[in-house]
Amino acid sequence: MHALSIPTWIIHVSSVIEWIAAIWLIWEYGELTGDRNWWALSFAMLPALVSAMCACTWHYFDNPESLQWLVTLQASMTVVGNFTLWGAAFWIWRASKSVKTTITSVSKNN
Q: Where are the domains of the chain?
A: 6-109
CA 82 to chain centroid, in Å, comes to 9
**pLDDT of the residue at 110:** 59
The predicted-structure confidence for 5-23, as pLDDT tens digits, reads as follows 999 999 999 999 999 999 9
pTM for this predicted structure = 0.83
**pLDDT of the residue at 9:** 94
The predicted-structure confidence for 60-104, as pLDDT tens digits, reads as follows 999 999 999 999 999 999 999 999 999 999 999 999 887 766 656
State the DSSP code for 62. Answer: T
Question: What are all long-range contacts of 19-22, with beta carbons under 8 Å and residues at least 24 apart?
Answer: 19/45, 19/48, 19/49, 19/52, 20/49
Question: CB atoms < 10 A from the CB of 41, how many?
Answer: 22
Query: How many residues are recorded in the chain?
Result: 110
Is the four-CA dihedral 42, 47, 48, 53 of positive or negative sign? positive
